[in-house]
Amino acid sequence: MNNHIGISAYKAVVNNTLVGRQLEAHVLLKAADRLQMVIDIWGSQGHEDRLHDAISRTQILWNIFQDALIKENNPIDEDIKINVLNLSMFIDRQLLSTLANPTPDRLLSIINIHRELAAGLNTSHVHPTHH
Amino acid sequence: MNISSTTSKIASSLSSTQNFTSTATKLASSLSTSSANKRLATLSSSDPAALSIMNKATDLSSVRSTMQQQIATLDQGSNAANGTATLLDDTRKQTINAQNVLDGYKTGKYTKDELTSVLTQYQASYQNALTEVDQTSTESSFLTGGKMTLATASSSAYAVTVKGGDLTSEGLKLKTKAAKDSTIANEDKPLVDQDISQMVSAVTGPDDTAALEKIGKVLEARQSAVSAAEGTAIGLSKSLSAGVDTLKQSSEGVTTLINNLSTGAKQARETDMNDASASSLSQRTSVMLANTGASFAGQSDMAMLQQLFK
């Protein structure tokens, strides 16, 4: 087993063992990392594929969140639900705008939101619950 | 790069090699019409500013509907008052004609039968006119009540002031009824209320000065009363018509306001969030998340999340 395989295997184990808030924070940060990587090497070889990959994964992530949040039996606090849904709409627009007119600025605001939400999810003052 | 090509690319990547089949299905489901509508409804209800604006627009629509009903009612009242004025004008002319026939009877120009016929017909016409005035007065009372209802609705709905001019001042006063009441209240009341058709039957001849003078006084009193009532009816008709015009303008103003509010609500949804406000909202939400144990997604979504950045 070389180092690369070993790291990938480790990441897979981490992914499969995380649940609930920790998993959500994890994927938010992973998406932010992908977007950050696109910005860091903006315009370099493979840029377009990286951009599309990062955007499409972020879109999927937020569609999963949106779909979960609008479920009537989702017990999450109503204020949080409203805030996150509004943020998701903002992110939707930013992602589509970036596709239409690629600039790194819009991605920065998304990265910021991801990191803020992940910080909140990783900092629980109460026992975690999920449905 | 354009949206259609990039969207196709995303769709292609979703459904091809990256084991996102279930995710793509989920994505397609979440983007379906019903789901989108549901999400839109959720967001609409979750946007206090937009919801507040739309509620105002809805209330104003109700006010506008009330206005339009009032316009129709006032228009009807104006037409009725105008009709009454025409009738009173005819009655006034008939009163003058009756006075002329009475004078002609005194000089022998007309016979007793002719005098009786003319005065009997005149009495009937006069009674009809009085009935018409009563109806107009009743309608005016109704219109006054309607105006008050409208004023209440308007004041409660975001200070949409209906500057009714005569509507809000003297215009809707029941001048017609007031004129009639004042006539009845004065010393001529016994005269104007006399039945001339009966009085004329008591006349013994052209030289029955007392009886003829009494009829003449009745006709004179009536002519004065009818002229006053006619002027009032004309004024009432004009006032109501002016009120109709004013209400129409106000209604158009409300329509503009509703349109502006609808546009505002749309803009509130579309532009309410910018980088700064999104950042602020995400910070607040982060704190809220830290203070709760809640997660966004359910257990069934976790598998997809685990796959997303595997």
Residues of chain B scoring pLDDT < 50: 1-45, 141-142, 144-188, 271
Across the interface, do B291 and A16 touch by the CB < 8 Å criterion?
A: no
Across the interface, do B285 and A117 touch by the CB < 8 Å criterion?
A: yes
Of residues B6, B13, B301, nearest to A64 (C-beta): B301
- Nearest by Cα to B294 from A31, A26, A113, A69: A69
The predicted-structure confidence for B141-174, as pLDDT tens digits, reads as follows 445 444 333 333 333 322 222 333 233 223 333 3
Report the alpha-carbon distance of residue B9 to residue B6 in Å, rounded: 5
Look up the pTM and report it. Answer: 0.43
The predicted-structure confidence for A64-102, as pLDDT tens digits, reads as follows 888 888 777 888 888 888 888 888 888 988 887 788 788
Which residues of chain B lie closer than 8 angstroms to A62, CB-CB?
Answer: none
The predicted-structure confidence for A99-126, as pLDDT tens digits, reads as follows 878 889 989 999 999 999 999 999 876 6
Element spanning B305, H or E: helix B299-308
B187 DSSP 8-state letter: T
Residues 134-153 of B with CB under 8 A from A: none
The predicted-structure confidence for A2-54, as pLDDT tens digits, reads as follows 455 455 554 554 555 567 889 999 999 999 999 999 999 999 999 988 998 89
* Domains, chain A, with CATH or none: 19-122 (1.20.120.340)
Interface contacts A/B by beta carbons within 8 Å: 187
Q: A72-81 contacts: CB < 8 A, separation 24 or more?
A: A73/A131, A74/A131, A74/B298, A75/A129, A75/A131, A75/B294, A76/B292, A76/B294, A76/B295, A76/B296, A77/B288, A77/B292, A77/B294, A79/B288, A80/B285, A80/B288, A80/B289, A80/B292, A80/B294, A81/B46
Q: Which amino acid belongs to residue B39?
A: R
Per-residue buried b or exposed e for B220-233, using 16+ beta carbons within 10 Å of the residue's own CB: ebbbbbbbbbbebb
The predicted-structure confidence for B4-30, as pLDDT tens digits, reads as follows 343 333 334 333 323 333 333 333 343
Which residues of chain B lie closer than 8 angstroms to A55, CB-CB?
Answer: 10
Of residues A59, A117, A126, nearest to B293 (C-beta): A126
Report the alpha-carbon distance of residue B236 to residue B173 in Å, rounded: 8
Task: Write down the ipTM of this complex.
Answer: 0.85
